[in-house]
Structure formats: structure tokens, C-alpha cells
Amino acid sequence: MSLSIKTPLLESLPLSNRVGTKVWMKMEAMQPGGSFKIRGVGFAFEQHHERGAERFISSSGGNAGLAVAYAGRRLGVPVIVVVPQTSSERARSLLKMEGAEVIVHGESWFEANELARSLQTAADAFIHPFDDPLLWTGHASMIDEVVADGLRPDAVVLSVGGGGLLAGVDEGLRRNGLVNVPIYAVETHGTASLQASISAGQLVEIPAVSGVATSLAARQVCRRAFDVSEERPVIPVQVSDREAVEACLTYLNDHRTLVEPACGAALAVLYGGKVSLAELNNVLVIVCGGSTAAIESLLTLRG
């Protein structure tokens, strides 16, 4: 049995009315762990497990770490997650609830990641949050499900952090013959590392990341995400932190599902009418989800 589940594909009337065409939502917020991450992480986990990995290590205090912890609990394999001191109490307690050993180390992700890497022995597997072909192949299954449900979208809207979701959706679209479907790749202004690389015409690192969309905070996207932007139409779009948070709250009222600002960013493009899609017939938005934002923090951020 697969670690990820088949998620609903729902038509959104509020978003369809706003955009002027049919908008379909792939409800990845309903995955175990609360985000799409378990698709790729679960797939990678099972591959390593079959090859004999006895312990799994992650340095993600976010949804990727949660997915690794969930997979470990389900398969009865120990998981260590090293998180920096800046990680939230909520993230740590969610990881512990999944049964992971949580080690708090270092001032930033960089130090946490170094310790995580140093703990790794030959019997361990390290699961990267976005830069691994196994992850992309796992993520691609969400597009297989969309096509099996009878939808062949003529545009996809999704959020971009390190670009693993983008790489996986591209793989899914390609393996279903949807080679030229444009992808609207959404970042917040403070995390626009894909935009920076597309503008530069090469893979670049941005000096810093900032803002509320912590799950999008990668200073550089993976090479594959940049290559995808050269191989098919990828349209980078940015939204403000405020727009991302507002979109989460509007989305909660419209669809009764709480998502992180990282996911709100993609929704904000549709709610804000930031790109014109009315000429198309079926727009697919990946509701990527996320467990790290509580309703209180969203209300505080909105002010």
C-alpha cells in the first residue's frame, strides 16, 4: 500500500467565477502530513527501504520532515529530524507526534543540515526536501490521478520553493502527453529564487530569503526546476506576503481547508486575478497544503 493517498479533484466555483473559466483544485492538503510532500518522500522512502536502509535522516523542520516522519512511523523505521533553533514549537511537536527523534541544533538550517549529514552512516538514508529525482517521480503521480479523473488541464498553477513540486508536475504532465501545457510558477517576493534564475538565464542563488512563506524559502531552486523553465512554458509570478495570507483566509472560508501561506501564494494569483486565464477551458491549481501555519498565526499575520 502506498504511503500517499489519491486526493480529490474538485471544481471551485468561487475561483472559477473569479478567473472566468473552470478552475480545478487538486487537494494535496488532504495528504497524510498535510501536504503533497508525502508523494515524493513516500516514494523515495520505499525505494531506500527496499534497498535496506535501516534509519532515515532529514533536516527539514517543515512539511518534508513531517512526511519522512510519517513514512517512518507507518513502516516502523526510525527517523531522525535535525531542526535549527529557529524552528517553531508547533513543527517540533508535530514531528514528535509522528514518532520522530527531533534534534534541535544550530542557528539556521545550514548548521542543522550539517549535523544531519554528519550523523549519516552507510545504513542510513538521507531524504532531501526537493532535489532528488525519486521525489519528482513520486510527485508526478498527482498528475496521473488528474488525468485518470478525466481532466486534461490547459494550464497549471503551483507554488515554487526549491522546485521539487514543479519538477514533479512537469514529469507527470510529460508522461501523460501534456508536453506544452504552461505552468504558472508562483513565489512570494521574498522567496523569488526561480524568478531570479529565469531573469539571469542561468541558475543563480539569491542573497537571502524572507517573509511568511517559510516552505518556499530556498535561496536556489534545483537545477531540474530551472531546466523545466527552459523546456516548457513556465511563467513566473510573484505575490506579496499579505496577498498569500489573505488568500489562505479567503480559501478557508470558501473551501473549509486551512493551508500555509506557501500554498496561499498560488491561490492568491487566482483570487487576485494576477494573470489572465479566461481564454482557457480548464485551469488546474495544486492545493499543496502545509501543516506549519495555525489559524492564530494567519490572523496575527493579517493584522
Nearer to ligand PLP, 34 or 153 (CB): 34
List 262, 267, 268, 284, residue binding ligand PLP (CB under 6 A): 262
CB of 286 to ligand PLP, least distance (A): 9
List 72, 138, 163, 236, residue binding ligand PLP (CB under 6 A): 163
Nearer to ligand PLP, 153 or 164 (CB): 164
CA distance 146 to 239: 26
List 69, 80, 142, 160, residue binding ligand PLP (CB under 6 A): 160
Residue 290 in the binding site for ligand PLP (CB under 6 A): yes
Q: At what angle do helices 164-175 and 223-231 cross, to 10 degrees?
A: 40
How far separated are the first and last CA of the chain, in Å rounded? Answer: 44
Nearer to ligand PLP, 62 or 72 (CB): 62
C-alpha cell at 147: 488525468
For residue 120, give the amino acid letter.
Q
CB of 279 to ligand PLP, least distance (A): 27
Specify which residues 35 forms β-bridges with.
Answer: 289
Residue 159 in the binding site for ligand PLP (CB under 6 A): yes
Q: Which of 2, 97, 109 is nearest to 45 (CA)?
A: 2
- In the chain, the DSSP E strands lie at 9-11, 22-26, 55-58, 79-83, 101-104, 124-126, 155-159, 183-188, 234-239, 282-286
Per CB under 6 A, which of residues 197..216 are in contact with ligand PLP?
215-216
Residue 264 in the binding site for ligand PLP (CB under 6 A): no
CB of 46 to ligand PLP, least distance (A): 19
Query: In whole angstroms, what separates CA 274 from the centre of its chain?
Result: 21
- In 27-181, the DSSP E strands lie at 55-58, 79-83, 101-104, 124-126, 155-159
List 26, 37, 39, 48, residue binding ligand PLP (CB under 6 A): 37
Residue 61 in the binding site for ligand PLP (CB under 6 A): no
Residue 35 in the binding site for ligand PLP (CB under 6 A): yes
Residue 298 in the binding site for ligand PLP (CB under 6 A): no
C-alpha cell at 180: 506544452
CA distance 104 to 237: 35
List 24, 130, 184, 251, residue binding ligand PLP (CB under 6 A): 130
List 32, 153, 161, 264, residue binding ligand PLP (CB under 6 A): 161
CA distance 257 to 117: 35
Stretch that binds ligand PLP, among 16-24, 161-169, 195-203, 226-234 (CB under 6 A): 161-169
User: What does the binding site for ligand PLP look like in residue numbers (CB under 6 A)?
Assistant: 35, 37, 62-63, 130, 159-166, 215-216, 218, 260, 262-263, 288-290
